[in-house]
Structure 1
Amino acid sequence: MTKRSLGRRALLTTGAAAAVAAATGLAVLKHKLDTYQDPGQRLVDAAGYRQRVAQVGDLAIGYAEGPDNGPPLVLLHAQHMDWYSYNRVLPALAESFHVFDVDYPGHGGTPAPPGYPMTAARIGADLARFVEDVVGAPAHVTGNSSGGLLATWLAANRPDLVRAVVLEDPPLFSAEYPRIARTIADRSFRTCANAVREGTDDFLLYWIRASKPFFDRNVGRGAARLLVEAVKERRRAHPGEPLEIGLLPDDTVRQFIRGLDRFDPRFGAAFHDGTWHTGFDHATALRAIGCPALLVQANFSVLADGTLDGAMTEEDAGRALSLLRRGTYRRVDATHVIHLDKPDYFVRLVKDFLLTANR
């Protein structure tokens, strides 16, 4: 056999080995995708939480309810997420509260009917009815991001239902129109508006493809294309179940993807065009809050072009605090979803504040 033949055979053998290795690697990745279970779910279940659905007017509101171990506490997640984004703090909160972890309209297990008004006033009124009909007593309320804005609306407009409120990095003032256009968040809201206008039937995949820079920055270069295929595979293996992509190393990004899989882009579009705030002025609402209120601010930055990367500036937080009659402020070295980034700190903060708020 000639050296040339030997070289050709060695090349073919090496190529075949590479192909086998690649196929093996893909099989391993597929197995990990198909069999992944978020470890937090076991802890949430063990703490006594049960998923339920309550009919509130024309809404079927999905929520997770914990055991009755104290005063009622309503949790309102960030936009694009769902109730499970609180999984890291749910067991500890269940030790001191009767927790109601709610998917508000357009998120998770609470689909919004066609024509449903995506406004703080309408969603806030439906959440108030949930507290009346399901919780059955005035409750402590904590909300993150857009959930913090809804908590603000509830405390201002239904003081009979809110004992005390924790506002976890809410975009006070920055989310109001037209200032919203000068925030990082509006890049996603603009994608929502485009999706509504174009009529896409798979918002998550639409959003991933439109948000390649986000995934390049937060996951890795080229991650968006791979994530699209991972989503398709996980859906195939677990049809109709919440989307769990265990290959994503960042817990916040993983919960973000789970939430976006059952997210109504009309919600984000209403932030983009300002209609979400119809009849809801942040300053007016803050002045109206009479119960104890804890305002918690996470990290933020302002880009070179003036775009706000975060929920509030120091000036926003200071203005908000000055308007609250019984306000307390905490600055936290954490990312926007504080209860995911610093869960132990969040639990201590919430317990210390709410369990002594009305003494």
Structure 2
Amino acid sequence: MKLGTEDHMSGTTTGTKTGVARTHSRARKVWLVIGANVAVVAVAAVTTFAIFKHSVDSYVDPWIQKVADAGYEQKTAQVNDVNLSYVEGPDNGPPLVLLHAQLMDWFDYSRVMPDLAHDYHVFVVDYQGHGATTYPDDYPMTANQIGADLGAFMDREIGEPAFVSGNSSDGLLTTWLAANRPDIVRAAVLEDPPLFASEYPEIKNTVAIKAFKSSYDVASSETGNEDFLVYWLDYNSAFFDKNVFPGSATVIKYFTTSYREANPGEPVELNFIPDETIRLLMRGLEEYDPRFGAAFYDGSWNEGFDHAEALQKITAPTLLIHANFSTTDDGLLNGAMDQDEADQAMSLLSDGTYKRVDSEHVVHLDQPTEYVSILNDFFLDGSK
């Protein structure tokens, strides 16, 4: 009986050990499979990221080549104390001067430049504070000074009355030129300019005041900030959360650094940002002088430049393009002008035409085909 009992116990012990071993073996296999799958996923993720990063770092905006193929050339002109950077197209018609939006550069017109080259002799100018244009450190960022130098540029490089179209802040400079240099402005298009809304203190009632505040903070800082693009991304992160995707400012900052390292000296071109206006904004912010925006914040930009008086002085045919606008919950104007301000501007123009468009602020980027059609209908209808 002893022997039988021992055999039974021995068999039970051996069976238990064998079962445990099999269980451990199965567990190891499961973990090996899980580990292998995790490794595959990790490798795939790293590979996908590397491919995506390469696509971002190697991106070249196709419109660079399209603009070049249309015959445009980059040039500079020394005017007074300013070395103006501009792009000139082939001489295929009357001269047309294009003045870009604040924070951008000449390339924000790239989507319409090839079409416009068919019928005009186009000049796209990086005005002071933007692009590759240079000037003394103490250059006055005022409409009167910038406008006077732009007029001198047109005297020197064009030498005849031209069509002028300006967007946003440069819609204001177009207003200045038409009012103060009627001898060189054949007709003007004011593309969603912030008439009245950008005058101090009314500007404090617009959403743009936050962007101007960021410029003012940097311009008035004793240490300054060499990388305004990165600073602007941090300061306006809520803008990117809303208009790109939540948390996008951090992602954009990473790829900004990555793109710069891969393309030293080239403007940042981030192809994963779907909105073209925001994508080209990154390019413009690379060389933007925050003193320009600071002058709007403290009111000095409009010093000596009253919008109502300027509009009353304009005798050339003038088209006012009015884009979309809204009012925030806290009563701030989100846009260049509300309807009352647009109506006031029209009441002051002696030869004005009003055009309401369903578009974002930079019409020539948001609605490029419509913009070209509007310009051609207004400038080339034989009446100007």
TM-score class, shorter: over 0.9
Match of 1:118 in 2: 141
Structure 1: runs of 5 or more not aligned = none
Which deviates further from its counterpart, 211-220 or 36-45? 36-45
Matched, 1:27 2:50: yes
| Among 11, 34, 48, the residue aligned to 1:11 | 34
In structure 1, distance between residues paired with 2:135 and 2:77: 14
In structure 2, distance between residues paired with 1:41 and 1:264: 24
The equivalences for 1:1-359 within 5 A come to 2-198=25-221, 199-356=224-381, 358-359=383-384
Q: Which amino acid aligns with 2:323?
A: A
In structure 2, distance between residues paired with 1:2 and 1:191: 63
SS at match of 2:46: helix
SS at match of 1:2: helix
Q: Deviations over 1:176-220 (max 9, x none)?
A: 011111111111111111122331110000000111111111100
SS at match of 1:148: helix
Is the 2:81–2:135 Cα contact (8 Å) retained in structure 1? Answer: no
In structure 2, distance between residues paired with 1:293 and 1:118: 25
SS at match of 2:293: helix
Is the 2:167–2:191 Cα contact (8 Å) retained in structure 1? Answer: yes
Is the 1:164–1:357 Cα contact (8 Å) retained in structure 2? Answer: no
User: Aligned in 2, Cα 1:228/1:140: closer, same or farther, shift over 3 Å?
Assistant: same
In structure 1, distance between residues paired with 2:142 and 2:207: 21
What is the TM-score when the length of structure 2 is the normalising length? 0.91
In structure 2, distance between residues paired with 1:96 and 1:317: 29
Q: Cα distance, 1:253 vs. partner?
A: 0.7
SS at match of 2:220: helix
Structure number with greater Rg is 2
Q: Which amino acid aligns with 1:279?
A: G
In structure 1, distance between residues paired with 2:216 and 2:131: 19
Q: Cα distance, 1:43 vs. partner?
A: 1.5
Is the 2:187–2:318 Cα contact (8 Å) retained in structure 1? Answer: yes
Structure 2: runs of 5 or more not aligned = 1-23
Q: Cα distance, 1:3 vs. partner?
A: 3.1
Q: Which amino acid aligns with 2:163?
A: H
Q: Cα distance, 1:358 vs. partner?
A: 4.2
In structure 2, distance between residues paired with 1:23 and 1:183: 44
In structure 2, distance between residues paired with 1:15 and 1:115: 59
Is the 2:100–2:108 Cα contact (8 Å) retained in structure 1? Answer: yes
Q: Cα distance, 1:245 vs. partner?
A: 1.2
Is the 1:172–1:282 Cα contact (8 Å) retained in structure 2? Answer: yes
Q: Cα distance, 1:4 vs. partner?
A: 3.0
Q: Cα distance, 1:357 vs. partner?
A: 6.4
